[in-house]
Amino acid sequence: MDSSSKISRASVIGAPAVNAKPRRIKVLHLVTSLEVGGAQHGMLLGLPRFDSERYEHIVCSIMDRMQMAGQFRDAGIEVRSLGLSRKTDIGVVLRLRSLLKELRPDVLHTYLLHGNILGRVVGRLAGVPTIIGSERTIGQARRWGRLATRLTNPLSDAVEVNSEIGGKAIESDLGVPSEKIEIVRSGLDLSAFSSASRRDELRSEFGVEDDKHLIVYMGRLRTVKGVEYGIRAFASAVEQAPSIRMVLAGEGDQRNYLDSLVSELGLNGHVRFLGVRNDVPDLLAAADSVLMPSLTEGFPRTAIEAMAASKPVIATKVGGTPEAVVDGETGLLVPAEDSDALSSAIVRLVNDGEMQARMGGAGRKRAEQNYSVEQYVSRLDGLYRQYSGIDFDGASRAVGMDKQN
């Protein structure tokens, strides 16, 4: 075959021109809302770190709750919203279909229950080539959610989870085939936690003296987070260790009730509610330990943030927490809904400075070995390339956008 024949054949199979700009993978991330949450924080941390010459990321919130939208835009990520504000708004289906037709993504990456279900159904109807789901909770889906997930599992190409236990849970509880499950461990900017330097400033702001042990709770103030048990445990611990103090960072539908509980237990001088905070590394720098009293849990991002900040964790032995926190090594684990056990763990840790230092050091080492943002981005990059079939030389190993209607 002569050279002209070779050139002709190369053109037929779609070989890129020598100076052609590499084909970017366009990923649309569909999430229930842009309220503060673990999935949202993971996207905010990871997406800006992808190579912008190889990837284009767009984040879309189904609901009109857009608390974190500004942070994404500041990081250079395009943000859209479907504007859902009431359950009866069925027009959200048409708005998503229209958005998919407009953007024509190579990959639709869906998050949380509503994002997964809506994205799978509408994504396939719109002809999106690749759909990757994401499951972050363990055992929290209600009956209809489990049924909807099982019925739509065939519509996704893969489902990513952030822990081994999460993979086992969605296989047994949600019927996700094992061959579709991909583990992508959460990632952190570890340097942010090692360089935080506002400890004295924040402790002064909170009214906590140097000789006091400060316990921090970070998360939503919801029943499932077990905050009531944590506060009751703290109240009991104060009787044995009066130098302890506690701050709670977050908001939720239990805020008023928990405020009243603190007053009822006589803890107003020991406990403070901070509301939503965006300075997690600094907040953890001010802490001496972290409390996680959840009744159920997926894979707890708070736990690995605490370990990255070299802080020991006191947590309940639920969901993916034992996979993150090694009992007796990086923290203390107790049964859920057991305020007495939580209280005993608090007192034990507060009274043992050597244990605090040892667990904090071990936690930092564990975070460095398993939860860097570089590892997180690399793993997602591999998934997007694998399932989209797109190489970065401008060619496609598999059919891509031409599959869309």
User: CB-based burial of residue 142 (10 Å sphere; 0-12 exposed, 13-18 middle, 19+ buried)?
Assistant: exposed
pLDDT score of 278: 84
Tokens 């869906």 identify what position?
110
Of 110, 132, 115, 126, residue with least CA distance to 63: 115
pLDDT score of 166: 87
User: What are the residue ranges spanned by the domains of the chain?
Assistant: 20-187+372-403, 190-370
pLDDT score of 20: 55
With a cut of 70, say whether residue 109 has pLDDT above it.
yes
- In terms of DSSP H, where are the helices of 337-372? 339-350, 353-370
Mean pLDDT of the chain: 90
Give pLDDT tens digits for 199-252: 999 999 999 999 999 999 999 999 999 999 999 999 999 999 999 999 999 999
Query: Which H or E element spans position 172?
Result: helix 164-173
User: CB-based burial of residue 65 (10 Å sphere; 0-12 exposed, 13-18 middle, 19+ buried)?
Assistant: middle
Give pLDDT tens digits for 371-397: 999 999 999 999 999 999 997 754 454
Residue 287's φ and ψ, nearest 5 degrees, are: -80, 160
Q: CA 353, 367, 213 angle in degrees (round to 5)?
A: 25
pLDDT band at 10 (very low <50, low <70, confident <90, very high): very low
pLDDT score of 328: 97
With a cut of 50, say whether residue 405 has pLDDT above it.
no
pLDDT score of 5: 39
- Determine the average pLDDT of the residues in 83-88: 90
pTM: 0.78
Give pLDDT tens digits for 44-70: 999 999 999 999 999 999 999 999 999
Looking at per-residue pLDDT, the higher value among 17 and 324 belongs to 324
pLDDT score of 21: 60
Q: Do domains 20-187+372-403 and 190-370 have the same CATH topology?
A: yes
pLDDT score of 298: 80
CATH class, domain 190-370, is alpha beta
With a cut of 60, say whether residue 12 has pLDDT above it.
no
pLDDT score of 212: 97
With a cut of 70, say whether residue 348 has pLDDT above it.
yes
CATH class, domain 20-187+372-403, is alpha beta
- Close Cβ partners of 138 (under 8 Å, ≥ 6 residues apart): 165, 166, 169, 173, 296, 297, 298, 319, 320
pLDDT score of 32: 94
With a cut of 50, say whether residue 79 has pLDDT above it.
yes
pLDDT score of 318: 92
